[in-house]
Amino acid sequence: MFLRSVDWLFRHTLSSVPFGIALLVGIAGYIAVGSGLASVREYFELDEMGFFNALPLKLMMFLLVVTLITVTIQRIPFTPPRYGVWMVHTGIVTLIAGAAYHYNKKVEGAILIPVDGAATRFYDRWDRALYLQAGGYVTRVPLTALPRFHAYSDELKNADYLDRSELRDLSPVLAKVSQPGAQPMPAPAAEALGLKELRLAITGYWPYAEVRTRLVQDASSNDVGFIARMPAHGDDAANESVLFGAELRSRQAMWGAVEFEHRPVADQAAINAAIDASKSIHRIAIKVAGIDKTVAVQVGQPVDLAIPGYAMQIESFEPNFPAMDGTRVQLLTMMVQTPTQRFRRQVISGRDKPTDWKLGELGSGPMGKRQTEPLDPALITTYTFSDPFILLPRNGLAKHTIFTTPNESAKATVVGVSLNEPPSVQTLEGATSVLSVAHPQSGEDVLTAVMTGRTQASHADDVTLLRVDHAKAEQIADVTPKAMRNRDEGQSGRKQVVRVRAEGRDANDKPFKLEVLAPFSERPFESPWQGGLLNIPGMSTVAQVQLGNDWRRLPARIKLDKFEAEAYGGFEATSVPMLRDFRSTITITDLETGKSQTDVVFLNSPVKYDPSPLSMVFGKSWIFFQSGWDNEGQRFTVLGIGNRPGVFAMTAGCSLIIVGIFYAFYIKPLIIKRMKKNALKKAQATEHANGSGPKPKRGRAALTAR
Amino acid sequence: MSAKTTDGFCKKVVMRRLLVSICAFLFLVTSARGADSTSAADDAFAKTVDLDAIRSISVQHNQTIKTFDTYARDVLFAVTAKSTLDGKSAAFVVIDMALRPEQYGNRNLIYIRNKPFRADFASLSVLKDKSADADRIVKEGTISLAFWLDPHVQAEMQKIMSTAMVKADAIQQINGQAAQLAQLLGFPSGERAIYRLAILPPLNSPDANAKPWLSPQALFDDAAKTMAQMTGSTPPATLPTTIAGYAPRIAGDVLESLGDLREAWLAQDLAKTQLATTKLAAAVQEANPAIYPSKTKRSFEVLYNSLYRLTMPAVAFYFVGFVLFLLAWKTDISWLYRSAVGFTIGGWLVHLSGIAIRWWLIEKSVGNWLDAIPIKNQFESVLMSAFSGVTVALLLERWKRFGIFGAAAAFIGMLSLVAIASAPYITGRDIGGEIKQHAGILMTYWLYVHVTLVTASYALIGMTFVMGVWYIVQYLSNRDADVLKTIDDCNLIMLQLAFWILGIGIITGALWADVSWGRPWGWDPKETFALITWIVYLVIIHVRFITSGQQRALITGILSVVGFAVMLFNWWGVNFFLVGLHSYA
């Protein structure tokens, strides 16, 4: 009965052309949906590779292969006119088999290599992992079942989707040094961190979100925090930031070129000390005409010298000026008037010799003409920079430090320090207060304004500060609205966030449980991590978790010897040129044999690496291609990396298909024509032999007949 | 003449040149407002003024050498989505913008390309009591530079930007257009685009493309510097013999002619305008004749632009050819058939000329024949695709002489060229008609092989569509068995060719993807839908095995239409509706 069913199946279904056509339509429909309707595959949490490697397509492909084989063997005789069809069908079967193997074994990813740097691993394009960093070591746990397209969390009441073994009870292995000087040995993370037990689990996932801090009121807390509401300015939209001095990660915020910091201090005396310090960040010791004095100076302000015939005005300050010897120095520029001349002087903190600039000389630049020796050697100015309270901005042009004390619950003092403006002090009172914040100009702007005499009115905006008493900071995954999502960021997964639950028992066998949000890091080994700090009580070291693409070992060590960006001709130095090509000169060194090869990877010209002579046939070879580059210079390259399983079989299959189609369409008619002709000839010969046909023609007559 | 006298004479000449140049240039830059003139006088001036000389001067724009005519068309289209303004040529408008900017600041010239975004303007508070203006913006999609730069509008746009990425992109796009228009008008600096145009060929350059070209502003800056030195307290003993590296006579001619041009333009003096433009054209050419593009190239470029890149002339031929083929089919009159073939071949020749001239012009702009092959964007791929299809169909027509292949060729040629000529104006988007440099990844022989094959197969698929429709119409109206069989036979020939060539095209694409992206197949939408198109034809071939007679041919015809629809979606639809790696195809 079973054999009869199988026989029926083969005869009536698997050898049926309509069934084959139905399969083709099914395959076309499936891939059209997967490619054209991303929402469908996203519904099933399948990326492109997952969808096109899923069971329905595999099943249809399998049935197509069986049908093709059955039809070919049962219905298509292996005769010269049919060779084409045989070739096409064989080619399709080979192609499908090759593709199945290819997608089963395919690995692809990318690696950023700085010039003169080398890499032995790369990041997978699809697979992700949870990275754990502690004590200088980094480890990871692959997250094979992590969703990709939808958010899952307790708040959304769908966290049970994450309740699968691949995302629970994650037990990373870290390196542990048993005694000083010994080699680090792999050990369970709990052991390496000095805990009795540690289990990690993914309890939330957001495909496109930002990790933000929000302030909530908690009666048990005595801390104060602020919510700063900044209006839109320039290209920056209006936004809201939390300033919470009790937590290091939440104490600062940036708005355009302005920095904010909340700093809780013990008492008013500390605030007064900070205010005093803000006024004496720049000090100049002046020796001239027998007078020796040190004065605190302010940028943009005249210096109170009280020396007859002498005047000074501080023009600008550069906190990171590149000195001739390559070091970064603090540089103050001032206009100096002496009884005999007027010139510009630049002084560097901690260095005695100033640089003077003569004014009004033909051919001199906007600063004046640089002098090798002081224009007035009698005027000795020694500059000292001192910012012990870190009131100056680090990245911006101005900084507002908000000081609060525990005793005065409704009062805050804001010390504003700008690179090119005198310091300011504002006092805030009440739950809601408004801080007037000027948008500072860069040193260059100030210098231009001073030199041209066109001082611009400084533009100021109001920043609203909402004070939160008894505050506690809480991290949330702030989901970016769909309309505000950037396609590239979404595709690359740069905005993914996971919530990680860490639980177990500490060194004293006391149970603990905490949850942190871990954002995505594009290159966990090379770039700094954000958030994800595991503050487990009693832990011997600080641990941090991060989501990232899984890493894989490269088949060889790749060193970037040189990277060149080749632009089309005719671009101006000031413009961003359109580029013609990118070239990475790399040296590939086999990790086992140490054998090296140097090649150049450029657009459309990858470097293929075959670890062994027959690598290509067995799909063991690798390809390195130009995938990305440094837009701002020629400091690094990004190489795309992929293995090549089944490519040989797929190429062979494609070749068979093309040759077969050509044969079937254009050779087969000729063969059939010839066969018909031969058959006709044969029939005629037979008829002639039987004496029933016409006489065969000879010579010219035969040619004419032909 | 003694050396000293010669030196003195030279000094005088240089001084006079410098003074005249600077005065002319200063006058031209500082006099911000020109005389208002009536629109009737403007129109008359625009119609009669001869700008041939300035149209054909070369400009370096976006790292590409092109004529001023091409530059003007490109920038005007970028801002307004039009190639002319009020019937005035782009060259006229761009010059007029530079010389009479006050005429354009309040005109609704900026075209909002994102149509859904126009609705946001209706809710702007500045248009609260101006519903007619709001309606006009929503309907016409144009705004003025003054309106866009209004601080209230900008403030509201800032807010809109933070609501949706697609709106932020639309605002950025308008910002780009506004910046381009502001540059043309010289707002707010007074430095108008025409004086910043790179029209002076570089000196000491191996070819025209290697180094940046200079603008008249560079001449002026250098001349002003020299003047400052000469009038300073300690003038230099010797005068510089060049201005920004160029001979003073040439520099003087360039600056003077620009000054004269402005004066003549404002006075609407036709003769002086022509004189000034001719002088300018001669001076810039003389600046470095060794690398200056040839007159033939420049003239052909201007002609090519004025003839709609030779699309519409070819369309005219194809159209007549198609109509004649239909008449010949209906009447069976042989001279009609011969005329149809003649007109279609005429269209093919114009089409070929369009490709050849474009290829040649790109080669002159980018400097390499192979790199210049015109198949790197939608305009060029359709142009080439239609050409391949028409060529194959005409060869088949020559062989079979049914009239069917010829009619299909004429129809597809006409349809394709009408599509690429009109698409920019219908959609407001450039589909690649502009001659420019392309992304480095496209500069490979794989592109030439893959794109040529795929687009050729698309043209053949277009032919199968025509024959499929023709078969269905004949089937429904006539049912003459011989006619139906002939159409089916022709369709099969096309279909087999399309299927085979598309197959090779897909495989060469996979080979290219392998070297470019490190994998032969990534299920990119373009790849996937090309495969689906191929599968449709695979299905047709197998359906023919299990059907017979007119039923077989009818199904083939219907599936040919389906295949064409899938192909069209793959070629154009995927670009608009899906996200993929083939954005340029």
Distance, CA of A184 to CA of A176 (rounded, Å)? 5
Q: Do B543 and A21 touch (CB under 8 A)?
A: yes
Q: Do B211 and A580 touch (CB under 8 A)?
A: no
Q: Do B496 and A582 touch (CB under 8 A)?
A: no
Q: Do A606 and B515 touch (CB under 8 A)?
A: yes
Disruptive mutation site among B169, B197, B451, B507 for chain A (greatest number of A CBs within 10 Å):
B507
Secondary structure (3-state) at B67: strand
**Amino acid residing at A204:** G
What residue ranges in B171-257 does DSSP mark as E strands? none
Distance, CA of A125 to CA of A118 (rounded, Å)? 20
**pLDDT tens-place string over residues A686-700:** 887 776 655 554 444
Q: What's the 3-state SS for A671-690?
A: HHHHHHHHHHHHHHHHHHHC
Closest CA to B274 of B435, B62, B482, B45: B45
**A705 pLDDT higher than 50:** no
Distance, CA of B96 to CA of B104 (rounded, Å)? 9
Secondary structure (3-state) at A213: strand
Chain B residues touching residue A650 (CB < 8 angstroms): 510, 520
- Which helix (H) or strand (E) segment holds residue A108: the answer is strand A108-114
Q: Are A149 and A160 in contact (CB under 8 A)?
A: no
Distance, CA of A345 to CA of A187 (rounded, Å)? 61
Chain B residues touching residue A640 (CB < 8 angstroms): 517-518
Task: Name the residue among B518, B529, B535 with its Cβ closest to that of A35.
Answer: B529
Chain B residues touching residue A487 (CB < 8 angstroms): 165, 579
Least Cα separation, residue A604 to chain B (angstroms)? 5
Chain-centre distance for alpha carbon B443:
19
pLDDT at B505: 95
**pLDDT tens-place string over residues B433-462:** 788 788 787 888 888 889 889 989 998 999
Disruptive mutation site among B517, B537, B577 for chain A (greatest number of A CBs within 10 Å):
B517
Confidence of residue A236 (pLDDT cuts 50, 70, 90): low
pTM value is 0.77
pLDDT at B582: 52
Chain A residues touching residue B518 (CB < 8 angstroms): 108, 606, 623-625, 627, 640-642
Residues of chain B with pLDDT under 70: 1-39, 188-192, 232-237, 578-585
Task: Name the residue among B211, B229, B528 with its Cβ closest to that of A35.
Answer: B528
Q: Are A288 and A310 in contact (CB under 8 A)?
A: yes
Residues of chain A numbered 340-399 and touching chain B (CB < 8 Å)? 362-363
pLDDT at A695: 54
Strand partners, A521: A548
Report CA-CA distances (Å) from B311 to A209, A392, B348, B359.
49, 64, 11, 15
Q: Are B312 and B351 in contact (CB under 8 A)?
A: no
Q: Do A570 and B539 touch (CB under 8 A)?
A: no
Burial track B446-459 (b if 16+ CB lie within 10 A, e otherwise): bbbbbbbbbbbbbb
Q: What ipTM describes this predicted complex?
A: 0.78
Chain B residues touching residue A20 (CB < 8 angstroms): 542
What residue ranges in B124-179 does DSSP mark as E strands? 142-144
**Amino acid residing at B465:** F
Disruptive mutation site among B396, B528, B540 for chain A (greatest number of A CBs within 10 Å):
B528
Distance, CA of B122 to CA of B156 (rounded, Å)? 12
Six-digit token pair at A42?
């996203």
The mean of the pLDDT values for chain A is: 86
**pLDDT tens-place string over residues A195-217:** 888 899 999 999 999 998 889 98
Secondary structure (3-state) at A337: strand
Contacts of A435 (CB under 8 A, 6+ apart): A400, A414, A426, A428, A462, A463, A464, A465
Chain A residues touching residue B367 (CB < 8 angstroms): 569
Q: Are B460 and B498 in contact (CB under 8 A)?
A: yes
Q: Which residue has the tokens 């590239």?
A: A488
Q: Are B163 and A483 in contact (CB under 8 A)?
A: yes
**pLDDT tens-place string over residues A312-355:** 999 888 888 877 777 788 999 999 998 888 899 999 998 888 99
Disruptive mutation site among B63, B578, B583 for chain A (greatest number of A CBs within 10 Å):
B63
pLDDT at A234: 64
Closest CA in chain B for residue A606: B515
Q: Are A550 and A142 in contact (CB under 8 A)?
A: yes
pLDDT at B171: 93
pLDDT at A491: 82
pLDDT at A484: 85
**pLDDT tens-place string over residues A124-174:** 998 999 999 887 788 899 999 999 999 999 999 999 999 999 999 888 888
- Which helix (H) or strand (E) segment holds residue A601: the answer is strand A596-602
Secondary structure (3-state) at A318: strand
pLDDT, greater one: A272 or A440: A272
Q: Do A48 and B522 touch (CB under 8 A)?
A: yes
Distance, CA of B350 to CA of B317 (rounded, Å)? 8
DSSP characters for A608-654?
Answer: EE-SSTTTTTTT--EEEEEEEE-TTSSSEEEEEEEE-TTHHHHHHHH
**Amino acid residing at A370:** R
Task: Name the residue among A51, A579, A625 with its Cβ closest to that of B517.
Answer: A625
Chain B residues touching residue A485 (CB < 8 angstroms): 165
Interface membership of A40 toward B (CB under 8 Å): no
Residues of chain A numbered 580-599 and touching chain B (CB < 8 Å)? 580-582
Closest CA in chain B for residue A30: B532
Rg of chain B, C-alpha, whole Å = 29
Backbone dihedral region for residue B530 (phi beyond 0: left; psi -120 to 50: alpha; all else: beta): alpha
Least Cα separation, residue A360 to chain B (angstroms)? 11
Distance, CA of B522 to CA of B509 (rounded, Å)? 11
Distance, CA of B305 to CA of B294 (rounded, Å)? 17
Least Cα separation, residue A641 to chain B (angstroms)? 7
**A59 pLDDT higher than 60:** yes
pLDDT at B34: 39
Distance, CA of B460 to CA of B499 (rounded, Å)? 9
Backbone dihedral region for residue B332 (phi beyond 0: left; psi -120 to 50: alpha; all else: beta): left
Task: Name the residue among A483, A484, A604 with its Cβ closest to that of B444.
Answer: A604
Q: Do A21 and B542 touch (CB under 8 A)?
A: yes
- Range in A175-179, A349-353, A501-505, B374-378 with the lowest mean pLDDT: A175-179
**A289 pLDDT higher than 90:** no
**Amino acid residing at A75:** R
Task: Name the residue among B158, B518, B532 with its Cβ closest to that of A606.
Answer: B518
- Range in A72-81, A183-192, A466-475, B1-10 with the lowest mean pLDDT: B1-10
DSSP characters for B363-432?
Answer: HHHHS-TTTT-S-SSHHHHHHHHHHHHHHHHHHHHHHH--SHHHHHHHHHHHHHHHHHHHHHHHHSS--S
Burial track B120-140 (b if 16+ CB lie within 10 A, e otherwise): bbeebebbeeeeebbebbbee
**pLDDT tens-place string over residues A548-575:** 999 999 989 999 999 988 888 766 655 6
Distance, CA of B438 to CA of B374 (rounded, Å)? 11
